[in-house]
Structures are given as structure tokens and as C-alpha cells.
Amino acid sequence: MTSQAVRLFRKMDGLFAVYKPQGVHWKHVRDSTESNLLKALNSCPPPAPQLAVQFQLLSGGENSSSTDVVLSPSMVPTLADHPLVTGPQFHKVHVGVGHRLDAFSSGVLVLGVGKGNGVLEHLCNSHVTRDYTLEGEFGKATDNFTHTGRVIEKTTYDHVTLDKLERVLAMIQGANQKALIMYSQVDLHTQEAYELAVRGLLYPHGKSPPILTGLRCIHFNPPHFTLEVQCVNETQKYLRKLIHEVGLELRTSAVCSGVRRTRDGPFKVENALTRQHWTASSIIQAIAHFSKVTRKIRKSGMYKQTAGQLNSSAQVQEQTRSQTEQINQEHVELSSSTSDTVVDRETPVTLSEGRTKH
């Protein structure tokens, strides 16, 4: 017979996303969610206290006038099981954090509860990218690349136009593409590498510096501008430095006034919980919402684990063969399409190659 508290605890297993406000340390978010979950668990009614047998000396009934003493047993609840003596039923709920966000940034923060913590590890090792919205301001440079830091220099920005900005962004994107190809450890002169690149399946293996897979400007209103970035292996400080470098390339200076993460892998900002909803009931609903995604991540993580363990066994060879078959099938589909599209798909790779020659 499980108590209500234990049944509630068993529902707390999985991943969910939280919207971290700006100015708050990620540990504070994690601690708040843990204390809210514990509060809900400990507010459930405690199990009934154990009964102990106590013998009491009672005088024998009213009938007998003699002083007959009789020992009568009775079941009395023990005070040792009182909640004020035993304490709360639950002391700890394991809440883990996925990709961290520093105090200056805001946005989607993935948290895992209970068994979801294992899946968090798979998420961190998997090939997911993160989406950021960076807000920048031309005209000054500070020591920590943010608009609240100590100002080091001030510059004019009248000469900055949208197409100059776009040219700079394209240059940065090109350099990042080159880095992506290099770190993905793929031999460019093979057909498989071409297929992967065309479909955007290139991913850096092992340790790599931050790489931007996508970069564009969504809002330009000098001195303010907003960039949208998809990246891998990044830190928020690197993104603020990116804004500063954009300013330098445009022969002015820029500071970052906001870093906002809008997507962390499959976890988007629409389903992230705001501060009012960091309660146990909302968290359990969010866990249920993300359960499919969690299962997918767990499966892909287990697959990768087994593939890594059985390095030279026949199973891995079969799997790689099936992968290449899949790729071949898709190549067949591709080759059936018109030659124009094939040419188009070739251009990104050749463009970057062209730049490297320069």
C-alpha cells in the first residue's frame, strides 16, 4: 500500500524546461524548484502511526468489592511516529540542470528530476543545437561586453548600414562552417561527407570550440540590433564577445544588452515554465508533456553508448552499413531530382572552400 506522497514522488521522473529570468543564478532556479517539489511532497498526509501494546493496571470491575488488580492490554499509537518527532517524509529530490545559463542571460533551462537526470547526460552528449537571440548596441565598448560594465571606449556608428552588417555576418558564418567541417573529422573528398554536409548533419566530434551553425540579423535599428544564432558547444560569454567582434569588424564598437536562449534541443520557449508556474503540479504536467521527447533522447543515448562500447564487433559494422544504406537511399532520391538543385546544394561547400584558398 503506497501512500499519497510516494505516488506523487513516482510521477516526478523526467525532463522539463524552465524560463530562467535575467539576473538570477541557475542554482537559485534549481533550488527553488527542488524546495517547491519537497513542499508538495511533505504536505501529503503522513502514514498512520504504529500501534504499540501497553499494559495498564486497572482495578477489577464494580461487581467485586475486593481490590483485585487486573492487567489489561491496549493498543496505543506511539508518539515516536508523530510527524513532529520523525520530521518530514522526504528530505531530497534529485533535480539536475542541463546546459547552464549564466546570471546575465535568460531563457530556456532544461531541468531533470529523478530518473530524468540520466537522460540529461544523454542530452548533453547528443547532437543538439541551441537557439539564442542576442541584442546588441553600437557606440561603446565595455570590459565585460555587457551594457552594465565599465565603459572603455565610445565610438560613432553612423556609417553602419544593414548590408555592411549582413556582409560581416556572412563572413563570420563562413569561418564557422569551415571550423565545423574541420572538427567533424570528415574527409571532404568522399561522397558520404558531401551527403552529410548537404543535409546539414555535420557535427563536431570530441572537444571543439563554440561553433555557430546559423547566424542572421532579425532587427536593425541603429544603435540597436538583434541577431539570431544557432550554435553548438557555446558559452554565453562567447556570444557576448561575438557581438563585440561584430562591432570591431564594422569599425565601431558594440556591447551586448541581452542574451536570450529560445531553444535548447527539442525544448522550446513556448513550453517553458515561468516563475509563477514553478510548482509541483505544473512541473508534473510539463514532465508529462515532454515524456515522448525524453524517451527519444534516452533511446538515442543508449544506442550511442552501446555503439561506443562494442567498437570492433560485427553489430557496429552492421549498424554502420545500415546507416550508409539509408544515406544511399536518400542519395537515390536526391539524384532523381533536377540537376539545378544538386548544383545549389554544392555551392555552400565550394564557397567555403573558395574562402579558405584566399
Partner 1 sequence: MHVCQRCVSLLLSRPLSAALQHSTRALHQRSHLTLLQHSTRHTLSQRHSRQTWRHFADHQAASPDVYNKIDLAQKEVVPLNSDVHRIDLDAAVHTSPLQEISEEEAVQIQVPYALPPESSTLRPYVDKSETLSKLVQLGVNLWKLEQRPNVGSMLVRLDFHADVAPSLLFLKDLGVEESKLGQLLTKNPFILTESLDNLEARVSYLKSKKFSKQSVAAMVSKAPYLLNFSVERLDNRLGFFQKQLGLSAEKARDIVTRLPKLLCGSLEPIKENLKVCELEFGFRGNEIQHIVTTVPKVLIANKRKLTQIFDFVHNTMDVPHSLVAKFPQVLNAKFLRIRERHLFLEYLGRAQYQPSQPNYISLDRLVFLPDDVFCSEVALATLEDFERFQKRL
Kindly report the backbone phi and psi dihedral angles of residue 345, in degrees, each rounded to the nearest multiple of 5, phi listed first: -70, -25
Nearer to partner 1, 68 or 102 (CB): 68
**Is residue 139 left, alpha or beta, with left meaning phi > 0 and alpha meaning psi from -120 to 50?**
left
Known catalytic residue: 102?
Answer: yes
Q: Is 79 in the site for partner 1 (CB under 8 A)?
A: yes
- Least distance to partner 1, CB of residue 199, Å: 31
Q: Is 272 in the site for partner 1 (CB under 8 A)?
A: yes
DSSP secondary structure, 34-96, as one string = HHHHHHHHHTSPPPPPPEEEEEEEEE--SS--S--EEEEEEEEE-GGGSHHHH--S-----EE
Q: Is 290 in the site for partner 1 (CB under 8 A)?
A: no
- Least distance to partner 1, CB of residue 82, Å: 6
Going by the DSSP 8-state scheme, the letter that residue 50 receives in this structure is P
CA 236 from centroid of its chain's CA atoms: 14
Q: Rule CB under 8 A: which of 85-114 touch partner 1?
A: 85-88, 106
Taking the C-alpha atoms of residue 174 and residue 350, their distance in angstroms, rounded to an integer, is 11
Q: Is 151 in the site for partner 1 (CB under 8 A)?
A: no
Nearer to partner 1, 227 or 297 (CB): 227
Q: Which residue is catalytic, options 31, 68, 102, 344?
A: 102
CB 307 within 8 A of CB 319: yes
Amino acid at 205: H
- Least distance to partner 1, CB of residue 285, Å: 15
Q: Rule CB under 8 A: which of 31-70 touch partner 1?
A: 52, 57, 68-70
- Least distance to partner 1, CB of residue 196, Å: 34
* Site residues (vs partner 1, CB under 8 A): 19, 21-24, 52, 57, 68-71, 78-80, 82, 84-88, 106, 260, 269, 272, 274-276
Give catalytic residue positions. 102
